[in-house]
Homo-oligomer: A and B are copies of this chain.
Amino acid sequence: MISQRAKNLDPYVPGEQPKDREYIKLNANENPYAPSGKVLEALSHLITHKPLSLALYPDPDSNELRSAIAQSLNASSGVLGTMGTITQQIELSISPDMVFCGNGSDEVLSVLFYSFFNADKPLIAPEHSYSFYPVYCGYYGIPLNKIPLNKDFTLDTESMLKASRESCCGLIFANPNAPTSLALSVENIRKMLEGFPSNKVFVVDEAYVDFSDESALCLLNEFKNLVIVRTFSKSFSFAGMRLGYAVAHPELIEVMTRVKNSFNHFPVDIAAQTAGIAACKDTLYYAENAKKIIAQRERLIDFLRKNGWMCYDSKTNFVLAKKDGISGKEIYEKVKTDGILLRHFNTPVITEYVRISIGTEQQIDKLIKSLEKI
């Protein structure tokens, strides 16, 4: 009874959620802090004072939320410099019709792939980046041209550009990238865009940008083919509720909206819309949390390097690290016996590493104690 396409699937194994004991979860790049008081208040208000709205279909276009996101991005001026460390103020003019909302950035990516990437030419992406890019390519039958990373795990932007100019339906990468944790500067993204076909869509997935120094939002005015994808799951402490968005030229957003309305009946639910609006008005709280996470990240990197580990200059809420003489799997297993979950990938090139999500100060204390034994 199974369809042919379902038979061919290679199932994704979700991150483990063991139940045998209480674990400190440093394996899913989640935020260790709860959503802000204003978000919780807005949700309580919805439930207490507008319970009937739970029974009615939500606004399919998330109009109020799109306005709140646009306003908050403009107010942040955090273009070069995001939540963590504002390095330069740049005037932004993002309008609500430049924003598209979805159930997590995964749904936004799904609509994006459907809208802009064809089956006749390959999508260009780094060999190691967010694991769902190949998944959506498989789902929609889009060929994928995976460009290997440089030896130091930075993006090989020259090869990516060369491949794009030869043949592509578009280009995507995460910045900062996962699982490498490294960021490409906005100046380098601008250079890529200048050499990239202007009639193809260029996607920068900024899931982790708020733990970094720079965002590519400031390039939107110049490049009409640029799409920036963001999520509320990381810096906005909202992974449990699913909320993400894309920012791009209104004409691209219009296509995504049309695609969504053509086949997808599941809008962002009323609770997620309500919470998202409240979060956009309370960015200071999230910026403070991002700073705490960055401080713990730097502390962990410092510890690791002083103790003979190799790790990268992370611009995210996680660290990719390895140690000579012990495999990634062994590190993962040893730390697990201390009640801490890390992420280990059984993928060539990165199998020696563990990916460590940054938690609270107390969680990193415990992790360091556990790592000292290695």
Contact = CB atoms under 8 A, between A and B. Distances in A.
Given A30-B56, A55-B240, A263-B139, A114 B5 contact: yes
B1 A201 contact: yes
Given A44-B47, A265-B132, A11 B55 contact: no
B255 A6 contact: yes
Given A6-B114, A116-B3, A104 B266 contact: yes
A54 B266 contact: no
B55 A48 contact: no
Contacts of A169: 3
A103 interface: yes
A54 B35 contact: yes
A32 B55 contact: yes
A31 B55 CA distance: 6
Contact of A237 (B55, B200, B262): B55
Interface in A38-95: 39-40, 43-44, 47-48, 51-60
A25 B35 CA distance: 33
Interface in A122-146: 132, 135-136, 138-140
Interface residues of A, number: 83
B2 A237 contact: no
Contacts of A43: 43, 47, 271
A103 B269 CA distance: 9
Interface in A234-279: 237-242, 252, 255, 258-259, 261-267, 269-272, 275
A2 B116 contact: yes
Contact of A240 (B54, B240, B275): B54
A63 to B, nearest CB: 10
Contacts of A117: 3
Q: Which of A5, A116, A261 has the most CB of B within 10 A?
A: A5
A51 B34 contact: yes
Interface in A187-238: 199-201, 225, 233, 237-238
Contacts of A371: none
Given A1-B199, A1-B200, 7 more contacts: A1-B116, A6-B115, A10-B262, A30-B56, A47-B47, A103-B103, A106-B265
